[in-house]
Amino acid sequence: DTGVSQDPRHKITKRGQNVTFRCDPISEHNRLYWYRQTLGQGPEFLTYFQNEAQLEKSRLLSDRFSAERPKGSFSTLEIQRTEQGDSAMYLCASSPNSGATYNEQFFGPGTRLTVL
């Protein structure tokens, strides 16, 4: 088990460009979460999937943000027309639906986005 992986680890882009991040959860974890963390703050919830269904979205997730998990495995988070305020660490986490670690969330290393 290689843990939750995220790609890329770092992304620098110019304002107005679109970016896409990928998260691969721990295999057989059917719950997947996206969070955003700005410097010096705790993470903030963005969205949550159970299998391929997006069950909850934060109001932080403006219409420029979209997340998918088409086959219930990996997930992508896309930001369109990036703004400088989008600069943050984007964290992905996954959790199992049962077992000893039920409801515990396992975090990936994050993707650090810098919008110039």
Partner 1 sequence: KNEVEQSPQNLTAQEGEFITINCSYSVGISALHWLQQHPGGGIVSLFMLSSGKKKHGRLIATINIQEKHSSLHITASHPRDSAVYICAVRGGIQGAQKLVFGQGTRLTINP
Which positions lie near partner 1, rule CB under 8 A? 31, 33, 35, 37, 40-45, 48, 50, 55-56, 58, 89, 91, 93, 95, 103-107, 109-110, 112
Q: Rounded to an integer, what distance in angstroms lies between the CA atom of residue 59 and that of residue 80?
A: 16
Q: Rounded to an integer, what distance in angstroms lies between the CA atom of residue 106 and that of residue 108?
A: 7
In degrees rounded to 5, what are phi and psi of residue 105? -105, 135
- Token pair in block for residue 99: 């077992």
In the complex, least distance from residue 110 CB atom to partner 1, rounded to whole angstroms: 4
In the complex, least distance from residue 19 CB atom to partner 1, rounded to whole angstroms: 17
In the complex, least distance from residue 47 CB atom to partner 1, rounded to whole angstroms: 9
